[in-house]
Structure formats: C-alpha cells, structure tokens
C-alpha cells in the first residue's frame, strides 16, 4: 500500500488567518451558514489537529468534502445526533421522531451492512467516469486519490486508489470538461475550493496552467496544509500568496495560489479563462454571491461553471444561532447576475453516487460581444 502522509499542524497560521478574516469586509467573511459551523470547527482543529483528518466520522470536515468515509462507518443514528448536538443543529430533529427512526433503521441497517459496501459502489460507478475521461483522451488512473491525511476509504481499482467522494468529484470535473473548453496554460479560478479536490483534477490535467483559489477560514487552513503536501513547489501557500504582487507575473504564472476571499478584489484585474464554483455559492447570502459574481465578470473568463442546489442549501425558516442561510439562494440568481455578459450554454443534473438528482450544473459561456 502507498505510504500514508500526514499533514503538518500550524495553529499559529490558523490563528493568523482567523484574525485577518475578522478585519475583512463583511462581504468576504463567513456568512451565517459557516459562521455557525465555526463554533465546532475551530475547537476540533485545535484539539485534534489535522492527523487522519480524512477518516473523521461525523466531523464538520465532511461538510466541505475533506473526508473519505466508508459507507458502513456512517450508518449510526445516535452518532449523527450527537454530532448534530455538538454543532448546534439538534433543533432540526424532533425527539419523538428520532426514537421512532432508530427502531425503524436498526433492521434496515443490518440488511444494508450485508448487501452494500463502498467497494461495490465504487466499482459500479467507475466505468462511467473512465469512459468519459477517455472521451477527452485522458487516462483516469492519473487522477486517482492520494493517501494524504489517511482516508478511511481507499478502494483499489485498476491498481489505483479511489473513494466514493473522489469519484464524485472526478465525474463532476469530466462532465464539465466534455461540455466546455480549457487547455493547458489557461488560467483557472475557484471560489470555495474546500479541501482542494477540484483543483487536483485541473492541476493534473493541465500541468502548465495557473490556478488561483479563494476561500474563508478555517477551510482555508485545511486546504492550505493539504495542497502544500499535494503539490509542493507548484503551490504558493497562504503566507506567501498574500504578499504576491499581481504585476509580478513571473512569480505566480503556472502556480497554484491559495488566498483569502478578500483578496479577490486585488486579483479581479487579471484575465482568467475558467471560473469554477461547486456547492459553495449555495451556502452564502444573496448580496455576497452577487458581489463575487460581479468580480468574476471583471476577470472576463470564457467559461463559468456553477454546481448548486436549485433552491440553495436552505434549511427552512431562519432563526438566529441555528445556522443555514437567511434566504434561499435560488439558481436564478446566477443567471440574473451573469446575463449581461454570459449565456447559459447548458444546465444538467450533477451526477453524484447514491444521491438523487438534486444538484444542477450550470455552464455559462461568455458572449462574443461582451465588454
């Protein structure tokens, strides 16, 4: 088995990110959705660090795609409820319903454990992704997952490792690439990279491209430490990135640059080729999304990809201290903000394993006469 590599902890860097974030304009700080999660996220990072972060069950790490968990390890309602309580989300469960659910789920869980496991699921979906990668002339094995962070799920397929989540991201990536255009040497930009999975695929496919990523802390801290291990000299970490001059292209061309969200204004004068957002805008407030898209338009990408729930990741009527967005982020917001310069080339269901077609992928193309 490939050697497992652990991430380095740097709590001083984490604290520095948090302090810098507090000074930023409200449009670039965590909105209510993620501000609520931080109450559990920061204590977890300070207590447990980043060791084995990809096998943590019922952790906030899973909410932004940082974990790779085996199916059989998550069929446990009491643990789910315990985690919900820690993250102040217990209000979403009615106690009487919970006890009934546990009685119903017990026999179902036993059957589930006998008949379904991650290996079966991954092997069932892998041929679909492999076929689509071949349409672009790419060998899917080059995009397999690393064992950095000691993932709980690492299934060997064709001699390489895959998890359900890594295969989901692979499918999202290749489905978009088939429908749009990006070539080696082009400039890629992403808001909300999470752990950095999307850029792993882009960086592997396009080794000479420049990639700039913007995110909020603490996610910023996790992706910084992960991408530093993953891409080494090609990666410009947070502490160096915030000192970069946009004009000094020789220092950042062809690199992967990670920056806090409030630096996007500084970089909005740089033309890019492809903008990407996957399941991140849906967790923000409407004015924040509109502001980001106005800056993206200034960067004049030829292509814009947005993956999101049609009505956002909305939990229902909002109450203070209970998380969620204050209003649903409906997909019409993207079209409304982009329609002056972009046309919606295609909208299709985002393919996820073991999930209904609840997300839509939107691919926008810049109008030929756009300013």
- Closest C-alpha among 326, 362, 315 to residue 63: 315
Give the global pTM.
0.89
Distance CA 147, CA 293 (A): 35
* Range(s) of the domain holding residue 253: 119-366
Asked if residue 114 is part of any domain, the answer here is no
Is residue 209 within 8 Å of residue 232, measured between CB atoms? no
**DSSP labels, 48-76:** HTTTTGGG-TT-GGGGGT-----GGGS--
For β-strands 155-157 and 160-162, DSSP reports them as: antiparallel
How high does pLDDT run on average in the chain?
Answer: 89
CA distances 5 to 50, 51, 202, 225, 243, Å, are 11, 9, 22, 12, 28
Asked if residue 320 is part of any domain, the answer here is yes
Query: How crowded is the C-beta side of 93, counted as CA atoms within 13 Å?
Result: 20
Is residue 293 within 8 Å of residue 332, measured between CB atoms? no
Distance CA 316, CA 327 (A): 8
What tens digit of pLDDT does each residue of 115-168 get? 557 888 899 999 999 999 999 999 999 999 999 999 999 999 999 999 999 999
Token pair, residue 79, equals 């643990």
Q: How confident is the model at residue 298 (pLDDT cuts 50, 70, 90)?
A: very high
Asked if residue 187 is part of any domain, the answer here is yes
Asked if residue 145 is part of any domain, the answer here is yes
Asked if residue 140 is part of any domain, the answer here is yes
The total number of structural domains that make up the chain: 1
Asked if residue 268 is part of any domain, the answer here is yes
For β-strands 210-215 and 256-260, DSSP reports them as: parallel
What tens digit of pLDDT does each residue of 184-239 get? 999 999 999 999 999 999 999 999 999 999 999 999 999 999 999 999 999 999 99
Asked if residue 286 is part of any domain, the answer here is yes
Asked if residue 108 is part of any domain, the answer here is no
- Assign residue 151 the CATH number of its domain: 3.40.50.150
Is residue 18 within 8 Å of residue 113, measured between CB atoms? no
Distance CA 22, CA 11 (A): 17
Q: Which residues contact 225 (CB under 8 A, 6 or more apart)?
A: 7, 8, 9, 10, 50
For β-strands 256-260 and 274-278, DSSP reports them as: unpaired
Is residue 26 within 8 Å of residue 262, measured between CB atoms? no
Residue 264, pLDDT above cutoff 50: yes
């Amino acid at each position: 088995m490939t050697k497992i590599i652990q991430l380095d902890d740097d709590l001083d860097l984490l604290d520095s990110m948090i302090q810098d974030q507090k000074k930023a304009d409200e449009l670039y700080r965590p909105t209510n959705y993620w501000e609520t999660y931080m109450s559990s996220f920061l204590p977890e990072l300070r207590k447990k660090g980043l060791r084995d972060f990809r096998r943590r069950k019922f952790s906030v790490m899973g909410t932004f795609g940082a974990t790779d968990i085996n199916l059989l390890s998550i069929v446990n309602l009491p643990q789910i409820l315990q985690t919900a309580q820690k993250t102040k989300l217990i209000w979403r469960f009615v106690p009487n319903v919970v006890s009934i659910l546990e009685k119903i789920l017990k026999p179902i869980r036993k059957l589930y454990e006998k008949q379904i496991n991650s290996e079966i699921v991954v092997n069932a979906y892998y041929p679909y992704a492999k076929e689509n990668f071949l349409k672009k002339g790419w060998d899917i094995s080059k995009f397999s997952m690393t064992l950095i962070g000691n993932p709980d799920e690492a299934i060997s397929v064709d001699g390489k490792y895959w998890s359900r989540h890594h295969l989901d991201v692979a499918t999202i990536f290749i489905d978009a690439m088939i429908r749009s255009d990006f070539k080696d040497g082009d400039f890629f930009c992403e808001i909300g990279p999470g752990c950095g999975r999307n850029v792993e695929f882009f960086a592997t496919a396009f080794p000479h491209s420049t990639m700039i990523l913007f995110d909020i802390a603490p996610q910023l801290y996790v992706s910084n430490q992960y991408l530093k291990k993953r891409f080494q000299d090609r990666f410009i970490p947070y502490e160096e990135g915030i000192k970069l001059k946009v004009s000094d292209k020789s220092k950042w061309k062809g690199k992967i640059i990670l920056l806090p969200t409030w630096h996007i204004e500084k970089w909005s004068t740089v033309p890019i080729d492809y903008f990407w957002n996957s399941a991140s805008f849906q967790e923000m407030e409407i004015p924040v999304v509109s502001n980001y898209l106005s800056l993206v338009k200034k960067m004049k990408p030829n292509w814009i990809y947005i993956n999101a729930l049609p009505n956002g990741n909305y939990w229902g009527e909002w109450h203070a201290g209970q998380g969620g967005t204050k209003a649903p982020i409906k997909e019409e917001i993207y079209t409304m903000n982009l329609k002056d310069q972009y046309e919606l080339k295609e909208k299709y269901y985002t393919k996820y394993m073991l999930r209904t077609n609840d997300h839509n992928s939107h691919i926008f193309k810049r109008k030929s006469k756009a300013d």
